Chain A
């Protein structure tokens, strides 16, 4: 099984909606880890040079899975993130 990298991209200090997005991701990751998946959650700064160079302009909160932005400008449900991570782990 492949390792899945999930980046939660938001401003620093984090805004409330980005914190909500991070919580959803962590909840999904925790559940999947118990099921034996390898999930790596990272926090990325939307204002950093690296992130803009990598993804271009983003609307926060954004979530990238294995270096592809899947969600932008909204807070997903943990179930939705779970599905995406499982998709990426295949």
Chain B
């Protein structure tokens, strides 16, 4: 009885925490948000321009300013990512992964955002999808979709930049992932890998999977712990990234952004910079937001954000399983896809 009450209290506290975080975000959306200019105003106010102190003041003020209006959003994004990752029925999804190509593509695109907030699950799942008999196509689609549209980046894109961009990002990433998966699956190199990974009777695993579900309070606690783990993994890189973004924000003149990051050139430049240049998760969003406010076109912004799946670190991890030729094919398709989507979106939204 005593243990039961303790459980109920713990569940109550944890639920209250998640509800508070979510309502905080809703509240901050309903009430007006502070303008983006406080960081520059403060620099002007302090009169530090021209003194060496400005080099210290820029990152400090920028980060303080960023977190002062992004903290709710970050807290929300991490908490929700933790919750979703904990409560999404992983065994139900993985069970259907091996059920043929159409289902494979569908699951790869629909489920990738929820399964992989952490890159360490991505490569094993890529291998798993391959082994399970869904083939190289869905595996590649999954691989491209996961980093492009995971729940954390989508929430942050929507909150910090705009929900329109976030929506377009999901759609274009899905389209590009589908096309890349399909093209890789009909090349001889893709087929060779498929053959290599074929297992005899993959449809019916011989051993059982019987997932034990812990009580609600433990699951909520695990969700919170996973949110903390994600934050610990991502925030250090994010803060280093913000230091760089702070300097760029202070020193890049708007004329340069307007000259190089608009029009067709803008899309091309953004797509190239967004890829091989390894930007840790979330930093691309902060930098994109900054460049956008300095005059980058929406089309270029989309290309910039879509650069994630073909960055260097991801390609390296995958080349351990797939042949480099396959990696090269999907990198080229992903790049072309990001350029095409950037141009199309820029054209349609009137901001090229």
Output the least CB separation between B193 and chain A (Å): 13
Known: A47-B321, A74-B86. A59 touches B132 (CB 8 A): no
Name which residue of chain B comes closest to A9, CB basis.
B124
Known: A53-B202, A56-B205. A73 touches B90 (CB 8 A): yes
Find out whether the CB atom of A56 lies under 8 angstroms from the CB atom of B124.
no
Task: Return chain B residues, CB-CB under 8 Å to A56.
Answer: 94-95, 97-98, 128, 132, 202, 205, 209
* Interface 0/1 of B23-49, CB less than 8 Å to A: 000000000000000000000000000
Find out whether the CB atom of A60 lies under 8 angstroms from the CB atom of B207.
no
Find out whether the CB atom of A57 lies under 8 angstroms from the CB atom of B321.
no
Task: Return chain A residues, CB-CB under 8 Å to B202.
Answer: 52-53, 56
> In the docked arrangement, what's the CA distance between A46 and B125, Å?
9
Find out whether the CB atom of B226 lies under 8 angstroms from the CB atom of A74.
yes
Output the least CB separation between A42 and chain B (Å): 14
Find out whether the CB atom of A69 lies under 8 angstroms from the CB atom of B209.
yes
**B315 interfacial contact with A, CB 8 Å:** no
**A89 interfacial contact with B, CB 8 Å:** no
Task: Return chain A residues, CB-CB under 8 Å to B218.
Answer: 77, 80
Task: Return chain A residues, CB-CB under 8 Å to B210.
Answer: 68-70
Task: Return chain B residues, CB-CB under 8 Å to A71.
Answer: 211-212
> In the docked arrangement, what's the CA distance between A58 and B124, Å?
8
* Interface 0/1 of B207-222, CB less than 8 Å to A: 1111110100010001
Known: A46-B128, A69-B211. A55 touches B205 (CB 8 A): yes
Chain A interface residue count, CB cutoff 8 Å, equals: 32
Known: A49-B199, A53-B200, A70-B212. A16 touches B120 (CB 8 A): yes
Task: Return chain A residues, CB-CB under 8 Å to B131.
Answer: 49, 52-53, 57
**B127 interfacial contact with A, CB 8 Å:** yes
> In the docked arrangement, what's the CA distance between A73 and B123, Å?
14
Find out whether the CB atom of A72 lies under 8 angstroms from the CB atom of B200.
no
Task: Return chain A residues, CB-CB under 8 Å to B244.
Answer: none
Find out whether the CB atom of B129 lies under 8 angstroms from the CB atom of A57.
yes
Find out whether the CB atom of A52 lies under 8 angstroms from the CB atom of B199.
yes
Name which residue of chain A comes closest to B223, CB basis.
A74
> In the docked arrangement, what's the CA distance between A81 and B124, Å?
23
Output the least CB separation between B137 and chain A (Å): 16
**B54 interfacial contact with A, CB 8 Å:** no
* Interface 0/1 of B107-139, CB less than 8 Å to A: 000000001001011011101110110000000
**A78 interfacial contact with B, CB 8 Å:** no
Name which residue of chain B comes closest to A73, CB basis.
B90
* Interface 0/1 of B223-250, CB less than 8 Å to A: 0011001000100000000000000000
Find out whether the CB atom of B124 lies under 8 angstroms from the CB atom of A11.
yes
> In the docked arrangement, what's the CA distance between A74 and B214, Å?
11
> In the docked arrangement, what's the CA distance between A59 and B90, Å?
7
**B206 interfacial contact with A, CB 8 Å:** yes
**B85 interfacial contact with A, CB 8 Å:** yes
Find out whether the CB atom of B121 lies under 8 angstroms from the CB atom of A57.
no
Find out whether the CB atom of A59 lies under 8 angstroms from the CB atom of B115.
yes
**B254 interfacial contact with A, CB 8 Å:** no
**A64 interfacial contact with B, CB 8 Å:** yes
A residues lining the B interface (CB < 8 Å): 10-11, 15-18, 46-47, 49, 52-60, 64, 67-77, 80, 84
Contacts A53-B200, A64-B207, A72-B91 known; list 13 others, CB within 8 Å.
Answer: A18-B120, A47-B124, A47-B128, A52-B199, A56-B205, A57-B95, A57-B128, A58-B94, A58-B128, A68-B210, A69-B209, A70-B210, A74-B86
B residues lining the A interface (CB < 8 Å): 85-86, 90-91, 94-95, 97-98, 115, 118, 120-121, 123-125, 127-129, 131-132, 199-202, 205-212, 214, 218, 222, 225-226, 229, 233, 321
Counting from the closest, the 3 A-B pairs by CB-CB distance are A15-B120, A57-B128, A52-B131
A/B interface sample: 27 pairs, CB < 8 A: A11-B120, A17-B120, A18-B120, A47-B124, A52-B127, A52-B132, A52-B202, A53-B200, A53-B201, A53-B205, A54-B205, A54-B206, A55-B209, A58-B94, A58-B124, A59-B121, A68-B207, A69-B208, A69-B211, A70-B212, A72-B90, A72-B91, A72-B94, A72-B211, A73-B85, A75-B225, A80-B214
